[in-house]
Structure 1
């Protein structure tokens, strides 16, 4: 089944590098998947798989877990429904002053 991953990211926040890293990971693990990225809202890093929102940095304040996202993409390639939400990476660099 054709699978498309779309990522909305905030370039002003420096998330272009995060998008490129994620896109590289997806392309290496799922060569037939189409990965698109576009600059979007401030602080965003929103990921959809076949039109279904699977991760929202705006809601979680975290980045997606790449292994869990790969599992979601694998399931979509097999024709299974897109599972939500994607697990998030632990937040390790947050400082509250």
Structure 2
């Protein structure tokens, strides 16, 4: 089954490299997937799989776990239901 992944990312924040990293991991897991990225809102890193929003950095303030996203795409390619991302990358936080 074809899987379409769309990622809206903040270009001015330098998130294009994170998009490329995620896209590479998805393509390694599901070579037939269609992974598209576009610059969007400030601070964004929104991941949609087959039209379903599975992760929103604007809501969580953290990046998704890329392996978890790749697993969701793989499951979708095998006909399973698209589910939300359940893991995220650790938040780098400095308290002064």
**Do they fold alike, i.e. is TM over 0.5?**
yes
Instruction: Spell out, residue by residue over 1:12-69, the C-alpha distance to the aligned partner (whole angstroms, 9 max, x if none).
Output: 0000111111111111121000000000000000000001001111111111112211
State the alpha-carbon separation in 2 of the partners of residues 84 and 22 from structure 1: 16
What is the CA distance between 1:95 and its match in structure 2?
1.5
1:96 aligned partner: 95
Instruction: Spell out, residue by residue over 1:61-95, the C-alpha distance to the aligned partner (whole angstroms, 9 max, x if none).
Output: 1111122112211110111110113421111x212
List 4+ stretches of structure 1 deviating above 4 A. Answer: none
Structure 2, unmatched stretches of 5+, are none
Structure 1, unmatched stretches of 5+, are none
Aligned residues: 96
Query: RMSD of the TM alignment (CA)?
Result: 1.1
